[in-house]
A and B are shown apart, each in its own frame.
Chain A
């Protein structure tokens, strides 16, 4: 029914006049709440790092995690390329870049799994000290977010393979991109406060 769809798109007129898509605004608000969630976890981590220093922090492998950081940040580049491809209706480019994003995300998770395993082998666990508790909680929650992003990338990939992102229908990729970049930015903060300072 054409009249119905016309009326429906009319629903968000105030948003369009402001240049705001409602799904994008919703995502930004969700990310704002995520900032506060990670803010709580990061504050707790920093509190213990400053007030209760632990020798276990010497076990952290900055080189390995630095490489892993590079992998994750590269995936932000592929997400940007995926969005550019979706905007021009280039399905092949979209599929390729979403696939690369998923592979890079999976590589990051594998690297994190390897890091966790070696730390646990050396005796640093979530229950070994306050430092261990806050380290594994903070990085673990970030890893969960990467996992969610990875599943979302695969879902978008499936949709792209079905031809679901026609020209001018890049919004789904853009929203996914907002989330993915957010998760990357959180990692930059985490890498700095956990491994560098």
Chain B
């Protein structure tokens, strides 16, 4: 995307690049971001229908079977088509530039990983026409063996999305290891790149196991194999083990990149070097490794051998340590800084506060007695949404505002951004805080109806959901109008030091005129020598 293109024909040309096969990592990044945001809106619409049903007791809008379909597809769309791939969008656009590379290591593989997503999304949602998947995003067997045909489409769709995610992960690791510009040593990698490395390695380790499990489910459904039919000796617990071996690490796949994004934002908006750079980088890696050892804490009530429960409880709780290292490092970064409360910073601060609630309730859930008490109640729903909506989605918004000038070459409107933050923050807390209480009082999740005493809490949650839904309106208006005719952005509107700010906004086709040679760390604020000359050209 070169700069001024006013004639209609060239606008059309520009648009065409984004809906066709293109191997430029920046085009692919935008393709990812726009496509996944579209799925976010679809997933949100499904949630709004559910919240409307739940605004009062009784079955009014959706019956139980319909509710199950909406719930399953809401969860699956949000996780597999929004949160996981949206971070690939950021990484596609930013990671090569941040390490001083011209593109990804495998540009065609990169395009292929994107182009698996739209068909997979269509396959998943088409299932509504053949009896939609209704076994929850966890697709527990034997239910998911007995569901309607849409469940097979669901399995195929998730296999495709997993493949896309593995291909992307291979690309990110290879790019980071082999394509760094001179001077970008591993201890000068921006923390977002570190976070993507940790995420990508986790994807490579965990996602293929889910693929194997989904193959078994698909074969049971389509070829009549007997893996999960209890009467023939099949074992449903096997699926739970396989599923959570992937899906617990998947939680970190969904939040580590977000932690990377806010690690970029705090130093820039506090004008201070990041506190504990190495500790933040290594804690991402520690979370990746530990994340592979905790999966059975999802199965405390599945008849697991009691002697196995305690080790899983301990490993789960140990994850709080690297997470705490990050949170305290961020707080120490902004401590005494020259804080600028612009929209990216607001969302990043929102991330800390809400992710903290999600994380701490995660410790509650990791302890066996509490988990047994609140298992399958709204407490779990609230915990999950504080991690993934209050946490991951806040980080996505923070990243979208932070890099909007770089990606589009134009500035967004700050007032609309702040309005968006306010509605989003209030909406998130109004939606999900009452669910903690409802869960502790015993309201079961995944049911269309509930006892009348839960009405006030559910009404609050539904009001919060409505606020959240309407909060996307100022964002969409802001993004579309600013992208079309916002004021032009300078190369470095936030005075950042990472390499993406050393090139024009939007970056030129090959990112750098000359391969940059880097002689300073990504967060060396308070050392003004760097600001005038962010990247000197390589002499070679």
List residues of A whose CB falls within 8 A of some B CB: 7, 10-16, 18, 20-22, 25-26, 29-30, 32-34, 36-41, 43-44, 47-48, 51-52, 126-127, 129-130, 132-134, 136-137, 141
Given contacts A15-B178, A36-B208, A126-B225, 8 further A-B contacts (CB under 8 A): A10-B515, A26-B105, A26-B109, A29-B204, A44-B212, A44-B227, A48-B233, A51-B235
Taking CB as reference atom, which chain A residue is nearest B211?
A: A37
Q: Pick 10 A–B contacts, CB within 8 A, sort by A.
A: A11-B179, A14-B177, A29-B204, A30-B170, A40-B213, A52-B233, A126-B225, A127-B223, A133-B226, A137-B216
Q: B174 an interface residue at 8 Å Cβ cutoff?
A: yes
Known: A15-B177, A36-B205. A129 touches B226 (CB 8 A): yes
Query: Which chain B positions have C-beta within 8 A of A43?
Result: 242
Contact of B206 among A7, A34, A36, A130 (CB under 8 A): A36
Known: A18-B177, A32-B205. A37 touches B225 (CB 8 A): no
Q: CA A129 – CA B211 in complex, angstroms?
A: 22
Query: Which chain A positions have C-beta within 8 A of B174?
Result: 22, 25-26, 29
Query: Which chain A positions have C-beta within 8 A of B171?
Result: 26
Taking CB as reference atom, which chain A residue is nearest B173?
A: A29
Query: Which chain B positions have C-beta within 8 A of A21?
Result: 178
- Tell whether, in the assembled complex, residue B209 and residue A40 are in contact, meaning their CB atoms are under 8 Å apart: yes
Q: B113 an interface residue at 8 Å Cβ cutoff?
A: no
Query: Which chain A positions have C-beta within 8 A of B232?
Result: 129-130
- Tell whether, in the assembled complex, residue B213 and residue A14 are in contact, meaning their CB atoms are under 8 Å apart: no
Query: Which chain A positions have C-beta within 8 A of B235?
Result: 47-48, 51-52
What's the minimum C-beta distance from B437 to chain A, rounded to whole angstroms? 39
Q: B303 an interface residue at 8 Å Cβ cutoff?
A: no
Known: A130-B232, A130-B234. A22 touches B211 (CB 8 A): no
The digit string for B170-213, where 1 denotes a CB below 8 A from any CB of A, is: 11011001111110100000000000000000001111111111
Query: Which chain B positions have C-beta within 8 A of A20?
Result: 177-178
Query: Which chain B positions have C-beta within 8 A of A14?
Result: 177-181, 184
The digit string for B212-227, where 1 denotes a CB below 8 A from any CB of A, is: 1101100110011111
- Tell whether, in the assembled complex, residue A133 and residue B227 are in contact, meaning their CB atoms are under 8 Å apart: yes
What's the minimum C-beta distance from B190 to chain A, rounded to whole angstroms? 15
Q: B535 an interface residue at 8 Å Cβ cutoff?
A: no
Which residues of chain B in 226-245 are interfacial with respect to chain A, using CB atoms and an 8 Å cutoff? 226-227, 232-235, 238, 242, 245
What's the minimum C-beta distance from A96 to chain B, rounded to whole angstroms? 32
- Tell whether, in the assembled complex, residue A33 and residue B105 are in contact, meaning their CB atoms are under 8 Å apart: no
Q: B297 an interface residue at 8 Å Cβ cutoff?
A: no
Known: A36-B209, A127-B226. A44 touches B242 (CB 8 A): yes
The residue in A25, A29, A32, A52 that gathers the most chain B C-beta atoms within 10 A of its C-beta is: A29
What's the minimum C-beta distance from B252 to chain A, rounded to whole angstroms? 16
Q: CA A43 – CA B170 in complex, angstroms?
A: 24
Q: B128 an interface residue at 8 Å Cβ cutoff?
A: no
Which residues of chain B in 94-128 are interfacial with respect to chain A, using CB atoms and an 8 Å cutoff? 101-103, 105-106, 109
- Tell whether, in the assembled complex, residue B178 and residue A25 are in contact, meaning their CB atoms are under 8 Å apart: yes
The residue in B103, B211, B220 that gathers the most chain A C-beta atoms within 10 A of its C-beta is: B211
What's the minimum C-beta distance from B139 to chain A, rounded to whole angstroms? 15
Report the interface size class on chain B: 35 or more
Query: Which chain B positions have C-beta within 8 A of A127?
Result: 223-226
Taking CB as reference atom, which chain A residue is nearest B175?
A: A22
Known: A36-B206, A44-B238, A47-B235. A18 touches B166 (CB 8 A): no
Minimum-distance CB pairs A-B, first 5? A15-B178, A40-B212, A133-B225, A37-B208, A36-B208
What's the minimum C-beta distance from A134 to chain B, rounded to whole angstroms? 7
Taking CB as reference atom, which chain A residue is nearest B227?
A: A133
Interface secondary structure of B, over-half rule: helix
- Tell whether, in the assembled complex, residue A47 and residue B238 are in contact, meaning their CB atoms are under 8 Å apart: yes
Known: A11-B102, A29-B174, A30-B170. A22 touches B219 (CB 8 A): no
- Tell whether, in the assembled complex, residue A34 and residue B178 are in contact, meaning their CB atoms are under 8 Å apart: no
Query: Which chain B positions have C-beta within 8 A of A38?
Result: 212
Contact of A137 among B101, B206, B215, B245 (CB under 8 A): B215
What's the minimum C-beta distance from B173 to chain A, rounded to whole angstroms? 6
- Tell whether, in the assembled complex, residue B179 and residue A15 are in contact, meaning their CB atoms are under 8 Å apart: yes
- Tell whether, in the assembled complex, residue B204 and residue A36 are in contact, meaning their CB atoms are under 8 Å apart: yes
Q: CA A6 – CA B482 in complex, angstroms?
A: 39
Q: CA A36 – CA B225 in complex, angstroms?
A: 22
- Tell whether, in the assembled complex, residue B102 and residue A33 are in contact, meaning their CB atoms are under 8 Å apart: no
What's the minimum C-beta distance from A165 to chain B, rounded to whole angstroms? 21
Query: Which chain B positions have C-beta within 8 A of A16?
Result: 178
Query: Which chain A positions have C-beta within 8 A of B223?
Result: 126-127
- Tell whether, in the assembled complex, residue B177 and residue A34 are in contact, meaning their CB atoms are under 8 Å apart: no
Known: A29-B173, A36-B208, A127-B225. A22 touches B105 (CB 8 A): yes
Taking CB as reference atom, which chain A residue is nearest B225?
A: A133
Query: Which chain B positions have C-beta within 8 A of A25?
Result: 173-174, 177-178
Known: A29-B174, A44-B212, A133-B219. A22 touches B179 (CB 8 A): yes
- Tell whether, in the assembled complex, residue B102 and residue A39 are in contact, meaning their CB atoms are under 8 Å apart: no
Known: A25-B177, A33-B204, A44-B242. A130 touches B227 (CB 8 A): yes
Contact of B170 among A15, A33, A137 (CB under 8 A): A33
Taking CB as reference atom, which chain A residue is nearest B184?
A: A14
The residue in A12, A36, A126, A132 that gathers the most chain B C-beta atoms within 10 A of its C-beta is: A36
Taking CB as reference atom, which chain B residue is nearest A27?
A: B170
Query: Which chain B positions have C-beta within 8 A of A32?
Result: 204-205
Taking CB as reference atom, which chain A residue is nearest B205?
A: A36
Q: CA A43 – CA B216 in complex, angstroms?
A: 12
Query: Which chain A positions have C-beta within 8 A of B224?
Result: 126-127
Query: Which chain B positions have C-beta within 8 A of A134?
Result: 227
Known: A11-B101, A52-B233. A130 touches B238 (CB 8 A): no
What's the minimum C-beta distance from B129 to chain A, rounded to whole angstroms? 29
Query: Which chain B positions have C-beta within 8 A of A34?
Result: 208
Query: Which chain A positions have C-beta within 8 A of B238?
Result: 44, 47
What's the minimum C-beta distance from A46 to chain B, rounded to whole angstroms? 11
Q: CA A20 – CA B209 in complex, angstroms?
A: 27
Q: CA A98 – CA B469 in complex, angstroms?
A: 60
Q: CA A64 – CA B323 in complex, angstroms?
A: 54
The residue in A15, A26, A47, A136 that gathers the most chain B C-beta atoms within 10 A of its C-beta is: A26
Taking CB as reference atom, which chain A residue is nearest B170?
A: A29
What's the minimum C-beta distance from B219 to chain A, rounded to whole angstroms? 6
Q: CA A113 – CA B169 in complex, angstroms?
A: 35
Taking CB as reference atom, which chain A residue is nearest B181?
A: A14
Q: CA A16 – CA B178 in complex, angstroms?
A: 7
The digit string for B344-363, where 1 denotes a CB below 8 A from any CB of A, is: 00000000000000000000
Query: Which chain A positions have C-beta within 8 A of B177?
Result: 14-15, 18, 20, 22, 25
Known: A37-B209, A52-B233. A12 touches B204 (CB 8 A): no
